Chain A
């Protein structure tokens, strides 16, 4: 996976993806920013402007599944995504945009994201300070995610009680998200399960569920 832009959005995204076991290359033009990221030691870094085809090529677009333009400039993100698409038509593209209206962009990229929208939701929740709320946006490092079980995964088709998940994992819902998971809940391939995962075991859990 390639992420263009190693600022706050780009780097946080990369760090999160790293805990899920992906290999990330970040392209970032600012030298100090590159050094700071290198100290964190989670991603491979290309120092340069991602809109420069020679720089983007060094990030190995041909060998990547996804290219995400996550810089603060929507136009640049669009350009990067289209450039990447040109180099490797099979690559999936994700662009960070600056407006709520996403449909307009989806002609050009596979996915458009609006990070400010997500942070606004979190901020609104915090400001309101309600005592009970939906967890998705407000957990600390704990990750609550919905995982679709892959056919070839080693835990596919197994009952929960016979699968040893690493400590720090909790399967929350059964396959339709209507019941809380029980020991006899079966992990049916193709179905989605809500799972709470601590970051350091995310990689192992995804390996068990997705193969």
Chain B
């Protein structure tokens, strides 16, 4: 449930507009194809999670299989992917929140709601970054001083989100705007079918939920059946929901309109066709906008937890400073891991949303490659390990997973070279920084443990 919450949650509200900008109406295809690509990785996750009962997600599995340096790089990448995802959600939260205020304050008459004033969002860009900043800061603070909300709350959150999206689809599909929907031309102007590939790269982050599922597998009963079930159920539901929502959004607002609305795409589509003049909430769009604000916030919370958890387990494995792996004596939380994650997240808020999405997707792609690799390595090195769930057609899925993820990585990198060199440079910088820090740390660590303190500060100094 938690993984589904993250997958359906924020990605759909934030990324739809951006995907439409690159791929046009084919944004619908983008999510389906991504679902297919990630299915192979899903099999790998299912097999690993069923046979290694550790709640640490991809990092824990890779740590089990690979030597020190590769597993360090894996954790380092995954940590970054979650932190940047945090920045992305914060950046998605801000315009949607402004839209929510806008729906309430600036829409006196029904019928005028559809004319969402773009200038409001435009003029508010500095305010948006400020808002994103505040959102990260408060959630980090919340998680730093108290232990996380329980899984059951997360389940309710997910149900609320899915409910809101169902309302969205129901109204959208029956609205007159959808009846005259234009899906032609399917692809963005002059871009052709290939334009969906970079969009796939960008929106890949939507499927980070696999890793989240496997970070919280501790209470699983009968893993043989339940873990693969959880992974595939959430994959299927996620793809279905994306399909419906993106279809409706493209159908009503048009790909161009959606693209123009950017991070607030879904919210604006909703304000365009939802009934207005309802009591209290004034217009139906407010529900969806509220949904967007709610999901981005919960997703932000989830990645604050997830990122600090990766850093925490790296600390416990002594791949980061041991203090990362310690609970604070007063708050009972992995305070240092949370604060360090928070600092990078705050830095990433200054990035454009698209760069944040690109970087996070890039790192999830890379870590999925490693996860697929570790399935193969584990099968070869530990053939007699008990595997409660064994994937069908064994060598095929992980190999396909690696190849397809590599292809997407290549395309994404190529796309970034053309459009977003900054993201690429920052990503490369992060890996370099990690490897350097690791080299220094292991050298110092072998000589004198206490010396490591200076080097451990580097992750925070990054942004």
Q: Residues on A close to B: CB < 8 A?
A: 23, 34-35, 37-39, 41-48, 55, 58, 152-155, 158, 162-166, 204, 207-208, 211
Contacts and interface: CB of A to CB of B under 8 A. Distances in A.
Contacts of B50: 38
B381 A39 contact: no
Given A39-B221, A41-B220, A41-B221, A153 B386 contact: no
A148 to B, nearest CB: 16
A164 B220 CA distance: 28
B388 A35 contact: yes
B383 A207 contact: no
B322 A46 contact: no
Given A58-B381, A152-B322, A211-B322, A41 B53 contact: yes
B145 to A, nearest CB: 10
Interface residues of B, number: 30
Interface of B is mostly: loop
Contact of B53 (A34, A44, A204): A44
A46 B327 contact: no
A164 B326 contact: no
A96 B199 CA distance: 59
Specify which of A34, A45, A48 lies most central, judged by the most chain B CB atoms within 10 Å of its CB: A45
A184 to B, nearest CB: 15
B54 interface: yes
Contacts of A41: 53, 217, 220-223
B223 A38 contact: yes
A207 B326 contact: yes
Specify which of A23, A55, A155 lies most central, judged by the most chain B CB atoms within 10 Å of its CB: A23
Interface in B309-350: 322-323, 325-332
Contact of A48 (B52, B221, B384): B384
B382 A163 contact: no
A164 B332 contact: yes
29 contacts: A37-B386, A39-B221, A39-B222, A39-B388, A41-B53, A41-B221, A43-B53, A44-B53, A46-B384, A47-B384, A47-B385, A55-B384, A58-B381, A58-B382, A58-B383, A58-B385, A152-B326, A154-B323, A154-B327, A155-B329, A163-B329, A165-B332, A166-B147, A166-B332, A204-B327, A207-B325, A207-B327, A208-B327, A208-B329
A107 B178 CA distance: 81
B53 A154 contact: no
B383 A45 contact: no
